[in-house]
Amino acid sequence: MARWLVMISPVGIAAAALAGGVQPGHLERGKAIYEQRCVVCHGPEGRGDGVQAPFLSPRPASLISAATSAKTDQELLRVIANGKPRTAMPAWKDILSEEEQRDVLRYIRSLIRFSQPMLTPPPPAGSQ
Ligand code: HEC
Residues with CB under 6 A from ligand 1: 37-38, 40-42, 52, 56, 58, 60-61, 63, 67-68, 71, 76, 79-80, 84, 87-90, 92, 104
**How confident is the prediction along the chain (128 residues), in pLDDT tens digits per residue?**
455 545 555 555 555 555 555 566 999 999 999 999 999 999 999 999 999 999 999 999 899 999 999 999 999 999 999 999 999 999 999 999 999 999 999 999 999 865 555 566 677 887 66
- Are the C-beta atoms of 63 and 44 separated by less than 8 Å? no
Torsion, CA 103, CA 107, CA 112, CA 118, rounded to 10: 150
Give the CATH superfamily of 9-115. Cytochrome c-like domain (1.10.760.10)
Radius of gyration, CA atoms only, the chain? 16
pLDDT for 123: 79
pLDDT for 53: 95
- Are the C-beta atoms of 83 and 89 separated by less than 8 Å? yes
Which residue spans within 1-128 are E strands per DSSP?
none
pLDDT for 50: 96
Tell the residue nearest (CA) to atom 1 of ligand 1. Answer: 88
- Are the C-beta atoms of 124 and 115 separated by less than 8 Å? no
Q: How far is the C-alpha of 66 from the C-alpha of 18, rounded, in Å?
A: 24
3 state SS of 80: helix
Q: State the distance from the centre of ligand 1 to the C-alpha of 4, rounded, in angstroms.
A: 31
- pTM of the complete model: 0.78
Tell the residue nearest (CA) to atom 17 of ligand 1. Answer: 61
Q: State the distance from the centre of ligand 1 to the C-alpha of 43, rounded, in angstroms.
A: 10
